[in-house]
Structure 1
Amino acid sequence: MKILADQNMPLVEQYFADLGRVERFDGRSLQSDQLVDVDVLLTRSVTQVNEALLNKANKLKFVGTATIGVDHIDTDLLTQRGIAFTSAPGCNAVAVAEYVISSLFALAQENASSIEGKTIGIVGVGSIGSCLRKKLAALDVNILVCDPPKHEAGLLAEHCDLDTLLAQSDIVTFHVPLVKTGKHSTLHLMNKARLAALKSGVTLINASRGDVIDNHALLELMQGGAALDLVLDVWENEPTILTELLDYVRFASVHIAGHTLEGKARGTQMLYQALCNIEGLKADKSLADFLPKPSVTDVSLQDTFTLADLGQLIHLVYDVRRDDGILRRHLALQGFDSLRKNYPIRREFSTVNITGAGDYAPTLRELGFNILNNGHIGDY
């Protein structure tokens, strides 16, 4: 098979080389001519897979996107053409949840405050929102959730309507797909009116899709003196973002919330498993075969450790301020896509084994850390 894969997708050769010949492509500049005689297309969110791209795809039988979202894929077209398709739901859920948690503790440190007792509104409780909800439940916070489609399907009894959630939350974080039309459209879900209605001091986090928040309306609001703490990983019109908004954003990054080494590799693995299933082959490769050992693996906590020290532990693994600094210092020279393509390695909380957790073991375990008991991962 001829396999065409996005240049930013990790471990493709390691997983797919036994299945065919792998060639790489630039996700934003892929042309229809490049799909001639291609059997398998492996892509990410920056590539629009539509009629214009596929009009010369004479052999294509499988399309996979190593992302949760599928708004860049014309799935109806693939069905019409009999082309198998799979996404990677949940592949980067842990990564995005940890991005949000790192941001919350960084804001708490800089504001000399605490997230304890805060009300956190999660908009969208799919794979990512559910993962974040589970992690936050280990902390002393109040959680509100909003997901109208899930609620209407009877899958979310605790649903809170969006405007009520916005009015009651100290922190609002978005984890919805981009839906441009229909009853549950998320395009400019945070429009000028909703942004203006936010109470002073709210933290607004977007690690879903840039178009969920009207960036121009947000800029106008901030220029007018609104007191909001903004954490933006995604932007309208990527890679040509509204740079004027950067002056008002506390932590900004280049659409990398889900880009842990584990998160990206999980996406590749899921596509490999799906293709093997279609081809009737045994999927006998796993992440453990390929991921390098992290630079920090073992942490010993002392008796003096309390949850007030939790931010230090979290930022030992990942501090969102690193990525904010990279964007601000290098965006003008290198550009959004280049920074995203060359994103430095980031690992997940699960790569750290903790001893001496004591009474804090359940909390740290729920956040994702490995808790060691007598040198072995397990319960206290």
Structure 2
Amino acid sequence: MLKIVADDKIPFLTGALEPKAEVKYMAGGDISNEDLKNADALITRTRTKCNEGSLNGTSVKMIASATIGFDHIDTNWCEQNNIKWTNAPGCNSESVKQYLGAVLALLVSEKKWVLKDRSIAVVGVGNVGSKVSAMAKALGMTVYEIDPPRARQENNMHFVNLTDVVNKADVITFHTPLSKTGEDKTLHLCDDNLLKCMKSDAIVVNSSRGEVIDGQSLKAALTEKQIGGAVIDVWENEPAIDKNLVDLVWIGTPHIAGYSKDGKAKGTQMSVQAISRFFKLGMDDWEASGLPLPEQAQLEINCVGLTEDEVIARAILHTYPLFNDDADLRGDLAKFEYLRGAYPVRREFKAYQIVLENGNESMLKKLIDIGFGKVIKKMSGR
């Protein structure tokens, strides 16, 4: 029988492959070369290093990572040793969009921003960045899209250079892979030089990879109040993150921007289907089931006295009260991994219905455009 080793924190996986395979579930960080000796496949997340040390001399023929990132996989070594690997591109794109939506909602509710008067630079316009960009446009923001590889490949004048807009953008949000070398190097893309060019009230957001921002430079910029603040979900040296930097950021979370139940289910689904195709298991159309419902799937908002931004902010923060994750991280940095593994249920916008009392068509359209499952407008008293 097919033998598979799987990270035990991958949701909706238990029982999916057992009719076709023998599956051993383990903590991702504990999976060793010895555990993989007789395994045919590995289903993993980012905490399992897939390289010569863990794979040499094993019988592993395929690695399926239920994550968008794949820098935990030594892809060159795997390809040279005939080990097929897959990741799950775009699986968490709606979840990260929701995270950014919550950031914008808090800028409205906490800092009284008017979004139509603000701009955002989206650095990396792939599966995630494109959805963040579309949401920001739907909310009326000016959007600058930065993606040098796409700009070259598509010869598209729509894209701009980061250096040309860094001094204009009110929010700079990073959605790039981690590239340590080459023309499109992103290691420490946000460094001292870039931070010094930003507006004094700019907000920097990183939900891509920790090393995209130079943590020491960000600490200096925040200490000296060169920028308005930072929202950091991914950190250098995870899980041993810098307490001094956590103390300085406006919002800090434990690498959970993509951790909606919907996004996790999609990543698991893509991994199971990839395993099925490779080993011809006949499960190519398998879908995750049993996603828990939101605690309060319907929200009614009386729009009297509220601006459009305030209405939308209430709807977004109902689906995702971002400050809760910030408080959990600050409560005990040593629980970084625990907070990821025990992350509570978070459903994406599509799982919610919003009822607008005394709302207008513009509010309704914006909520639909950013992805809410159903939006109903009713008049007072009806």
What band does the TM-score fall into relative to the shorter chain? over 0.9
Q: In structure 1, the residue corresponding to 2:311 is in which secondary structure? A: helix
Structure-2 residue corresponding to 1:377: none
Structure-2 residue corresponding to 1:366: 369
Q: Does the Cα contact within 8 Å between 2:123 and 2:173 map onto a contact in 1?
A: yes
Following the alignment from structure 2 to structure 1, what is the Cα–Cα distance between the partners of residues 77 and 176? 23
Structure-1 residue corresponding to 2:50: 49
Following the alignment from structure 1 to structure 2, what is the Cα–Cα distance between the partners of residues 164 and 147? 13
Report the residue type matching 1:344 in the other structure. Answer: P
CA gap of 1:19–1:135, structure 2 versus 1, over 3 A, is farther
Following the alignment from structure 1 to structure 2, what is the Cα–Cα distance between the partners of residues 188 and 200? 20
Following the alignment from structure 1 to structure 2, what is the Cα–Cα distance between the partners of residues 367 and 296? 19
Q: Report how far residue 156 of structure 1 moved.
A: 4.2
Identify the match of residue 322 of structure 2 among 314, 320, 323: 320
1:181 aligns with 2:195: no
Question: What do residues 62-94 of structure 1 show as CA deviations (whole Å, max 9, x unaligned)?
Answer: 101111122221122222222222110000000
Q: Unpaired runs of 5+ in structure 1?
A: 375-380
Structure-2 residue corresponding to 1:337: 337
Structure-1 residue corresponding to 2:128: 128
Q: Report how far residue 301 of structure 1 moved.
A: 4.5
Report the residue type matching 1:112 in the other structure. Answer: K
Following the alignment from structure 2 to structure 1, what is the Cα–Cα distance between the partners of residues 253 and 24? 29
Q: Unpaired runs of 5+ in structure 2?
A: 378-382
Q: Tell me which moved more, 256-265 or 359-368.
A: 359-368
Q: How does 1:173-322 map to 2 (within 5 A)?
A: 173-280=173-280, 281-287=282-288, 289-302=289-302, 304=304, 306-307=307-308, 308-322=310-324
Following the alignment from structure 2 to structure 1, what is the Cα–Cα distance between the partners of residues 225 and 355? 46
Following the alignment from structure 1 to structure 2, what is the Cα–Cα distance between the partners of residues 227 and 183? 27
Q: Report how far residue 276 of structure 1 moved.
A: 1.6
Q: Does the Cα contact within 8 Å between 2:69 and 2:177 map onto a contact in 1?
A: yes
Q: Report how far residue 10 of structure 1 moved.
A: 0.6
Q: Does the Cα contact within 8 Å between 2:301 and 2:311 map onto a contact in 1?
A: no
Q: Does the Cα contact within 8 Å between 2:292 and 2:345 map onto a contact in 1?
A: no
Q: How does 1:106-145 map to 2 (within 5 A)?
A: 106-145=106-145
Following the alignment from structure 1 to structure 2, what is the Cα–Cα distance between the partners of residues 14 and 89? 24
1:16 aligns with 2:17: yes
Report the residue type matching 1:123 in the other structure. Answer: V
Q: Report how far residue 152 of structure 1 moved.
A: 0.6
CA gap of 1:272–1:330, structure 2 versus 1, over 3 A, is same
CA gap of 1:227–1:146, structure 2 versus 1, over 3 A, is closer
Q: Report how far residue 284 of structure 1 moved.
A: 4.3
Q: Report how far residue 176 of structure 1 moved.
A: 0.2
Following the alignment from structure 1 to structure 2, what is the Cα–Cα distance between the partners of residues 310 and 372? 11
CA gap of 1:155–1:56, structure 2 versus 1, over 3 A, is farther
Following the alignment from structure 1 to structure 2, what is the Cα–Cα distance between the partners of residues 340 and 53? 23
Q: Report how far residue 210 of structure 1 moved.
A: 0.5
Q: Tell me which moved more, 126-135 or 361-370.
A: 361-370
Q: In structure 2, the residue corresponding to 1:24 is in which secondary structure? A: strand
Following the alignment from structure 1 to structure 2, what is the Cα–Cα distance between the partners of residues 42 and 309? 41
Q: In structure 1, the residue corresponding to 2:130 is in which secondary structure? A: helix
Following the alignment from structure 1 to structure 2, what is the Cα–Cα distance between the partners of residues 292 and 283? 24
Report the residue type matching 2:268 in the other structure. Answer: T
Q: In structure 1, the residue corresponding to 2:78 is in which secondary structure? A: helix
Report the residue type matching 1:79 in the other structure. Answer: E
Following the alignment from structure 1 to structure 2, what is the Cα–Cα distance between the partners of residues 320 and 373? 25
Q: How does 1:2-151 map to 2 (within 5 A)?
A: 2-57=3-58, 59-151=59-151
Q: Report how far residue 222 of structure 1 moved.
A: 2.0
Question: What do residues 289-314 of structure 1 show as CA deviations (whole Å, max 9, x unaligned)?
Answer: 32122222223455637523211111
Following the alignment from structure 1 to structure 2, what is the Cα–Cα distance between the partners of residues 338 and 159? 39
Q: Does the Cα contact within 8 Å between 1:201 and 1:229 map onto a contact in 2?
A: yes
Question: What do residues 107-132 of structure 1 show as CA deviations (whole Å, max 9, x unaligned)?
Answer: 22111232232110000001000111
Report the residue type matching 2:76 in the other structure. Answer: D
Structure-2 residue corresponding to 1:378: none
CA gap of 1:373–1:323, structure 2 versus 1, over 3 A, is closer
Report the residue type matching 2:374 in the other structure. Answer: I
Q: Report how far residue 143 of structure 1 moved.
A: 0.2
Q: Report how far residue 26 of structure 1 moved.
A: 2.1
Question: What do residues 200-245 of structure 1 show as CA deviations (whole Å, max 9, x unaligned)?
Answer: 0001000000000100111122222324211000111111111101
Q: Does the Cα contact within 8 Å between 1:108 and 1:115 map onto a contact in 2?
A: yes
Q: Report how far residue 246 of structure 1 moved.
A: 1.5
The number of equivalent residue pairs is: 371
Following the alignment from structure 1 to structure 2, what is the Cα–Cα distance between the partners of residues 372 and 143? 25
Report the residue type matching 2:322 in the other structure. Answer: V
Q: Does the Cα contact within 8 Å between 1:106 and 1:319 map onto a contact in 2?
A: no
Structure-1 residue corresponding to 2:380: none
Q: Does the Cα contact within 8 Å between 2:315 and 2:354 map onto a contact in 1?
A: no
Q: In structure 1, the residue corresponding to 2:101 is in which secondary structure? A: helix
Q: In structure 2, the residue corresponding to 1:167 is in which secondary structure? A: coil
Report the residue type matching 1:217 in the other structure. Answer: S
Q: Does the Cα contact within 8 Å between 2:209 and 2:235 map onto a contact in 1?
A: yes
